[in-house]
Amino acid sequence: MATAATASATAATRFTRLAGVGLRRTARLPTAVRFQRRVLATTALLRTAELRPKEQGLPETLDYRVFSSTAGAARYNINWNYGLFPQTWEDPTLANTDVEGAFGDNDPVDVVEIGERRANIGDVLKVKPLAALAMIDEGELDWKIVAISLDDPKASLVNDVDDVEKHFPGTLTAIRDWFRDYKIPDGKPANRFGLGNKPTSKEYALKVIEETNESWEKLVKRNIPAGELSLA
């Protein structure tokens, strides 16, 4: 198998529709990513006449959070670029024997990009997969692929999960903890993680991408029932 860098460089493709709805398949592995805007919440962003914020942690750090003292809810956003791999699909009829037999969440595979540049909504980035977290969200398997943009200054330095810890210390733990806790303010239970609660290797992450790409291909060819999904 090609290295993550080679796979990202050769297989990345621009796209205009979300994974699971387009019928054109323009790349073997989908390593271009559509991103939501990353926002680090600050008191200035949240202070309104109706909101009396309470801060916890140091601003501009991974553990900084702002709470509403009136509603009691946490008001903080993810600190990394967050998007998805096109042409991937987590099959809700397929039990993953590696991850407690959990079934897919019926969505494309999510990506957390850890580079320094804030991406804009709708941006397409070529990324290098580095690790995966097997999140179990209300019983469903919801993979989080940790990756870095090929344009990032540190991209050449990180090629596997160990490099992430070396050059981005604490980031993998922070990502896992954020996804574990982010639904708690809504009154939902904390999410869990399979595979020993640890991030996987790059090779395992690439395996997840390839398998979910194969599931997507079966879906758009109508070899798997689409359920409530529209394939128009």
The C-alpha R_g of the chain, in whole angstroms, comes to 18
Residue 148 lies in a domain: yes
Residue-wise pLDDT for 192-227, tens only, equals: 999 999 999 999 999 999 999 999 999 999 988 888
DSSP state of 38: P
CATH number for the domain that contains residue 116:
3.90.80.10
Residues 51 and 104 in one domain: no
Instruction: Answer whether residue 62 shows pLDDT above 70.
Output: no
Residue 137 lies in a domain: yes
Residues 205 and 129 in one domain: yes
Q: Which two tokens stand for residue 43?
A: 């008191």
- Domain of residue 146, residue span: 4-19+29-38+79-220
Task: Report how far residue 43's alpha carbon sits from residue 65's, in angstroms, rounded to the nearest whole number.
Answer: 9
Helices 202-220 and 4-11 sit at what angle, rounded to 10 degrees?
30
Residues 46 and 107 in one domain: no
Region of 81 (left: φ > 0; alpha: ψ -120 to 50; beta: rest) is beta
Share of the chain above pLDDT 70, in %: 67
Give the total number of structural domains in the chain: 2
Residues 92 and 133 in one domain: yes
Question: Considering the entire predicted model, what is its pTM?
Answer: 0.72
Residues 72 and 84 in one domain: no
